[in-house]
Structure 1
Amino acid sequence: MLTLEHVGICAKDTVKLKDWYVKVFDFKIVYNNQKEMPTFFLLLEDQSMIEIYPAEHSTEQGTNKHQGVRHLAFGTNDIEKEYQNLQRHQVEIVEELKINPNGVGTVFFRDIEGNILHFIQRPEPLY
């Protein structure tokens, strides 16, 4: 069986980015290699993780329609609550909260380094 163990985010400032994810989403720090520019693993409630590690090169910020991995999607059963949390933390919203005709809710936003994230709430799972 394969599972998605973690997603890596290469960061300009690993400490600031880690602090943002912990503050906004209350993720738990489960690993810190204690280096000058540390690598962190943050644990989500479903036991998956986000790795935040130091960048060696900068790239231009893209949109959700550029080639490559473009966003991380977090599932939720209360998208309105999560949207209010984003607003409370003054998170940059890319696409406002929408509910489509099938009842699927989405909101797209950026972390402090410009990475695109989004929340999705599905009335029925895809599987």
Structure 2
Amino acid sequence: MFRVNHIHLKSPDPKKTAQWYVDVFGAKITGEGTGMGGATTVRMEIEGTRINVTSAPAGETLPQGTSESHYGLEHFGFDTDDIEAAMDHVQSHGA
């Protein structure tokens, strides 16, 4: 009945964040634009899963996120055939 349509992330620099997903996970950029309130949006896809990365609306800032437990998105997971190589790859890109 339902399927995931997309995941939506917020970032102060959507292009830089999207490029990280390209470099680390092989994401494909599918579009860029300016959305509601002048927010920058980058759309990408990884193996059929769509991910949007959006900035705050123009002239606004959002509070910095923390790694402390809180309500909201906890995580999303990826599958890999070689966890050790995958961890080395992700960590070499700053994770």
- Normalized against structure 1, the TM-score is what? 0.60
**How far apart are the structure 2 equivalents of 1:17 and 1:51?**
10
User: Max radius of gyration: which structure?
Assistant: 1
- Which amino acid in the other structure matches residue 7 of structure 2? V
- Cα distance 1:32–1:60, how it changes in 2: closer, same or farther (>3 A)? closer
- Normalized against structure 2, the TM-score is what? 0.77
**How far apart are the structure 1 equivalents of 2:68 and 2:51?**
19
- Cα distance 1:49–1:84, how it changes in 2: closer, same or farther (>3 A)? same
- Cα distance 1:54–1:60, how it changes in 2: closer, same or farther (>3 A)? closer
- Find 1:41's aligned residue among 24, 27, 43: 43
The alpha carbon displacement at 1:64 in A equals 5.1
The alpha carbon displacement at 1:66 in A equals 1.5
* RMSD across aligned positions (CA): 2.2
Structure 2 unmatched runs, 5+: none
Contact 1:38 1:54 in 2 (8 A): yes
Q: Which residue of 2 aligns with 1:51?
A: 52
- Cα distance 1:41–1:62, how it changes in 2: closer, same or farther (>3 A)? same
Structure 1 unmatched runs, 5+: 93-127
Structure with the larger RCO, 1 or 2 (CA within 8 Å, 6+ apart): 2
* Aligned length, in residue pairs: 90
Q: Which residue of 2 aligns with 1:32?
A: 32
Do structure 1's residue 86 and structure 2's residue 90 form an aligned pair?
yes
**How far apart are the structure 2 equivalents of 1:77 and 1:66?**
31
Q: Percent identity?
A: 28
